[in-house]
Amino acid sequence: MVVLLLLAAIQAHSLGVQPVQAFMATPRPCVVPLGLGAAASASQLCLRPGGRRDRPRPAIGMQLQFPRREAQQSREYNVAKVRGGYYMSDKEGDAPLEEVIRSKMADVGDEMVEEEQGKGKELGQGLSDEEFEAFMSRQTVELEGAVTDGTLAPKYMPSLQPDDPIIREIYRLKLATKVNSFELLDSRWNGNEVLQYLTDAGSLFVKMNRVEDSSVFMAEAVGLTSILRTNTVTVPKPLHVGKLPKVGVFGPGAFLITEYLRLEPFGALKAGNQEILGAQLAQLHASDALEDVHKGRFGFVVNNLHSLSPQDNTWKSSWIDFFYDRMLAQVNVVYKASSWGRAPLPEDDLEFASLAQKVLKQVPTLLRGTETVKPALLHGDLWIGNTGATAEIGPVLFDPACYFGHSEYDLAIMTLFGGFSPVFFDAYHAVLPKEPGFEQRQKVYTLYNYLNQLNLFGDPAVRDTCVQLMKEIVPDLEVPESPDVLQ
């Protein structure tokens, strides 16, 4: 409602609306957001808590390529989500819990807020293995629709009706005058679903999630637009971010509409496309098109998510400091339950704690030589499943978790899941040759990605892989009897 009022009141400007500042307990620094209009003005208004306007400030120059002015997800909102620990049962962050819940679920009543808090406290805390399995079974029954009476729990389902939220926005934005049909193309474990909508004006991609906040897709749209601005590698152009209603226990959710790119089956695996993508990724990493945005710093204009893991993209002048904070954040949650499962590791796993502590202390040494690296725009989640190719254009990337970091970081996750051939890496390094210490740094960056996998899925085999990697990174470590508690 706030967004609609602001857009109606000021139609001559491209606004950066900060949707949750009305809930903020204390004022936060005003951050000039990205311009969102297709033809944004040269200056933008910066909104402070309570709706007070600061003097106009220059836009940072990057514009989301939406056909109409849309509400920009503010940096403060993302910071509140990260600090509030929404994706962890331990929500004792800097932001008040009520603020985070209200910003996340503005349309949900008090009963749902209490339900969320209860789930967060119950998951993985003080439960035996049998109790935990029973609890997760109940959650599966509730959230996946299979209830005891044989009926299905209600949830939002796309339709062709004019009042369907996706159809309504397609028509409102004049992306088409008639939607003929749609089909599901992909469904992933985190609840994301990708559909193709066939219209009289061509096809559209729609990515939706029945329980996620629109800020997540807005941050993804910012990343896609950032990559587009470099003119190096193809990504789908974002067209609109909208909201899905709460239906039953699901929601409210969100959706992202992008241009449609016809991907070839297994096109990303073809040698020709791998060679092209290797060169294009190196060009993306070497691009200076966004120097006016990063200004030599590491981070990003908004926080985002790597899968379900929050990424705090607060600007830092040092890559070593930035990466240390990222690594520390991963290590610190291995003993904490999350909203989708119990803690990955038991508290008495002293071997892991000791090794992780030693690696953290050695980060400046392990990343020696990166003190002068230039910030590169990273895809951030570049496994083979987030790549594709079209017959006309060639390689395509999607589902980014962008930020400005060390170019070598993007390469580590590629080796983690496989699918990229030597042809790709040869083409990449022909543009950006390996620097001294490359192999050692790849182990460190690979460890980070394994830690993320451990926190997402709690796989004991991944834990063992992390331990083995840490022993390789800092050899001959001895496990102390009482390792220091990680901060």
Of 252 and 164, the one with more pLDDT: 164
DSSP per position, 274-336: HHHHHHHHHHHHH--TTHHHHTT-BB-SS-EEETTEEE----BS-HHHHHHHHHHHHHHTTTS
Of 446 and 2, the one with more pLDDT: 446
pLDDT band per the 50, 70, 90 thresholds, residue 389 = very high
CB 352 within 8 A of CB 334: yes
Of 25 and 324, the one with more pLDDT: 324
DSSP assigned state of 158: -
Lowest mean pLDDT segment, chosen from 153-162, 188-197, 323-332, 340-349: 340-349
- The yes-or-no verdict on residue 103 having pLDDT over 50 is no
pTM, rounded to two decimals: 0.71
Max Cα–Cα distance, the chain, nearest Å: 69
Q: What is the pLDDT of residue 337?
A: 76
Q: What's the CATH code, domain 165-259? A: 3.30.200.20
Q: What is the pLDDT of residues 20-44, one digit of tens each?
A: 222 222 222 222 222 222 222 222 2
The β-bridge relationship of strands 57-58 and 238-244 is unpaired
Backbone angles phi, psi at 179, to 5 degrees: -100, 120
pLDDT band per the 50, 70, 90 thresholds, residue 76 = very low
| Mean pLDDT, range 149-175, rounded to an integer | 86
Share of the chain above pLDDT 70, in %: 65
Q: What is the pLDDT of residues 151-160, one digit of tens each?
A: 556 889 999 9
CB 10 within 8 A of CB 45: yes
The identity of residue 390, as a single letter, is: T
Q: What is the pLDDT of residue 398?
A: 94
Q: What is the pLDDT of residues 211-242, one digit of tens each?
A: 888 888 988 999 999 999 999 999 999 999 99
Q: What is the pLDDT of residue 365?
A: 93
| Mean pLDDT, range 369-382, rounded to an integer | 95
Which candidate, 232, 224, 231, 267, places its Cα nearest to that of 432?
A: 232
| Mean pLDDT, range 368-378, rounded to an integer | 95
**What is the spatial distance between Cα 332 and Cα 323, in angstroms, rounded to a whole number?**
14
Q: What is the pLDDT of residues 439-465, one digit of tens each?
A: 999 999 999 999 999 988 888 899 999
**What is the spatial distance between Cα 168 and Cα 187, in angstroms, rounded to a whole number?**
23
DSSP assigned state of 55: P
| Mean pLDDT, range 91-115, rounded to an integer | 37
Lowest mean pLDDT segment, chosen from 17-26, 69-78, 387-396: 17-26
- The yes-or-no verdict on residue 11 having pLDDT over 70 is no
Domain regions of the chain by residue span: 2-105, 165-259, 267-473
| Mean pLDDT, range 344-360, rounded to an integer | 91
| Mean pLDDT, range 358-384, rounded to an integer | 95
Backbone angles phi, psi at 13, to 5 degrees: -125, 155
| Mean pLDDT, range 114-130, rounded to an integer | 41
| Mean pLDDT, range 71-96, rounded to an integer | 39
Q: What is the pLDDT of residue 95?
A: 43
Which candidate, 182, 164, 163, 157, places its Cα nearest to that of 248?
A: 157
Q: What is the pLDDT of residue 154?
A: 82
Lowest mean pLDDT segment, chosen from 133-147, 350-364, 439-453: 133-147
**Would 165-259 and 267-473 be classified into the same CATH topology?**
no
Q: What is the pLDDT of residue 421?
A: 94
Looking at every residue in the chain, the average pLDDT score rounds to 73
413: which 2 tokens?
A: 């996750």
CB 255 within 8 A of CB 221: no
Q: What is the pLDDT of residue 9?
A: 32
Pick the CATH number of 267-473 from 3.90.550.10, 1.10.8.60, 3.40.50.620, 3.90.1200.10: 3.90.1200.10
pLDDT band per the 50, 70, 90 thresholds, residue 321 = very high
- The yes-or-no verdict on residue 136 having pLDDT over 60 is no
Catalytic residues: 381
**What is the spatial distance between Cα 425 and Cα 477, in angstroms, rounded to a whole number?**
33
Q: Is the dihedral of CA 180, 181, 182, 183 positive or negative?
A: negative
The β-bridge relationship of strands 179-187 and 57-58 is unpaired
Q: What is the pLDDT of residue 111?
A: 33
